């Protein structure tokens, strides 16, 4: 029992470790800095969610009813990959790129034809804040479908967006500033003013939304006033959401295996065939199954005395399989079997 319990604990620990992640912004991360709640919110809103690990899945969806989220990619997109994302946007898809200080989002934005870019300098606000000036509360919200019922957004160590002529949806307060030298203080060359933190622009038939902080979508920040409503507005404006983790580093192996199985018909056929074969083998009659497995532990009693072992082997067999029998009964059964076999031998 202890061995079974230990084995159960090991199996459960392995499954948890193989299916979860501690990566920031990760959809398989249930901790405060993960984005598992974003997927849960999509499901709760009735939006079909899909986690993608390869940009080749962009051309397989109906673009004009789909929104794709890219949260601070950890690797650069290749020209072939940016073309697939760009085609998705041109054909009517919505692309949400949330970034603060990473180096790869601006190149992606430029490649898909967006004008907005991420500044990269820390945004601070010592008047309108949550917990610290590094978590400014942006209170200047433009009334649009994407910002419906949103009165403010809370930023968590974010930056600002350079709109470059695009529409600004949300700005920080007039008491915010860019901490250019990173000393966490307002210096003489740093001025108090509003700064764009969310923009939207049309690209082809689609649109690109740029958010200056990927932390806005993590589990703990979705609880802040306005953040969850903004995410819901973006999600419910579409029928389907792609959570693009194709450039977010290593993902849990079990989750990757399941995603590969779902997206690869050949693997589904192989896995299904193996499963059906295993079930068919399991449902075979016991003797046939044991024959396949190469062991026949339930041989009839008569077969035990085939050969030189004779009466002693039969006595051992009956005592092992029928310990409840009295000795007199055991002897009667042995005598009967031996007499029966002797008669068969005489007939031969």
Whether residue 241 is found in the same domain as residue 342: no
- Please give the structure tokens belonging to residue 141: 């919200």
Q: In whole angstroms, what is the distance from residue 158 CA to residue 311 CA?
A: 86
Q: Which residue range forms the structural domain that includes residue 318?
A: 302-348
pLDDT at 314: 75
> Would you place residue 20 in the very low, low, confident or very high pLDDT band (cuts 50, 70, 90)?
very low
Segments in the chain forming alpha helices (H): 2-19, 36-44, 79-90, 105-111, 227-236, 253-263, 265-282, 286-293, 301-304, 310-321, 327-347
- In-domain check, residue 1: no
The pLDDT tens digits of the residues spanning 96-128 come to 999 999 999 999 999 999 999 999 999 999 999
Residue pair 53/246 in contact by the 8 Å Cβ criterion: yes
The CATH number linked to 225 is: 3.40.50
- In-domain check, residue 55: yes
Q: Report the percent of the chain where pLDDT is more than 70.
A: 74
Residue 211 per-residue DSSP state: E
In order of 235, 240, 271, 277, 321, the CA distances from 293 in angstroms are 53, 48, 22, 14, 22
- In-domain check, residue 240: yes
Mean pLDDT of 48-70: 95
Query: Angle at Cα 240 formed by Cα 110 and Cα 99, nearest 5°?
Result: 35
- In-domain check, residue 283: no
Whether residue 231 is found in the same domain as residue 318: no
Per the structure, the count of domains in the chain is: 2
- Mark which of 214, 234, 263 sits at the end of a domain: 263
Q: Report the percent of the chain where pLDDT is more than 90.
A: 59
- Please give the structure tokens belonging to residue 98: 């949330």
Three-state secondary structure call for residue 342: helix
Mean pLDDT of the chain: 83
- Please give the structure tokens belonging to residue 15: 């499954």
- In-domain check, residue 205: yes
Three-state secondary structure call for residue 133: strand
- In-domain check, residue 50: yes
């Amino acid at each position: 029992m202890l061995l079974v319990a230990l084995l159960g604990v090991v199996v459960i620990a392995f499954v948890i470790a193989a299916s979860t992640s501690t990566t920031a912004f990760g959809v398989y991360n249930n901790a405060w800095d993960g984005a598992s709640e974003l997927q849960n919110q999509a499901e709760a809103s009735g939006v079909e969610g899909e986690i993608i690990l390869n940009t080749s899945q962009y051309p397989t969806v109906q673009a004009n009813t789909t929104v794709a989220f890219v949260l601070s990619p950890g690797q650069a997109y290749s020209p072939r990959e940016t073309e697939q994302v760009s085609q998705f946007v041109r054909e009517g898809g919505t692309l949400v790129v949330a970034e603060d200080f990473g180096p790869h989002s601006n190149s992606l934005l430029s490649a898909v034809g967006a004008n907005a870019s991420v500044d990269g300098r820390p945004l601070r606000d010592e008047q309108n804040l949550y917990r610290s000036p590094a978590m400014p509360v942006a209170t200047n919200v433009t009334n649009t479908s994407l910002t419906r019922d949103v009165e403010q957004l809370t930023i968590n160590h974010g930056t600002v967006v350079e709109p470059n002529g695009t529409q600004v949806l949300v700005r920080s307060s007039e008491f915010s500033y860019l901490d250019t030298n990173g000393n966490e203080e307002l210096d003489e060359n740093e001025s108090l003013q509003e700064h764009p933190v969310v923009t939207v622009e049309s690209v082809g038939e689609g649109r690109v939304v740029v958010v200056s902080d990927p932390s806005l979508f993590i589990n703990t920040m979705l609880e802040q006033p306005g953040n969850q409503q903004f995410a819901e507005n973006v999600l419910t404006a579409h029928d389907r959401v792609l959570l693009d983790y194709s450039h977010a580093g290593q993902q849990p192996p079990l989750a990757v295996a399941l995603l590969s199985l779902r997206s690869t018909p050949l693997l589904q056929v192989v896995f299904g065939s193996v499963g059906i074969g295993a079930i068919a083998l399991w449902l075979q009659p016991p003797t046939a199954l044991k024959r396949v497995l190469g062991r026949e532990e339930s041989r009839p009693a008569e077969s035990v005395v085939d050969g030189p072992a004779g009466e002693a082997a039969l006595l051992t067999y009956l005592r092992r399989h029928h310990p409840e029998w009295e000795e007199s009964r055991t002897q009667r059964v042995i005598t009967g079997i031996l007499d029966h076999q002797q008669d068969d031998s005489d007939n031969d």
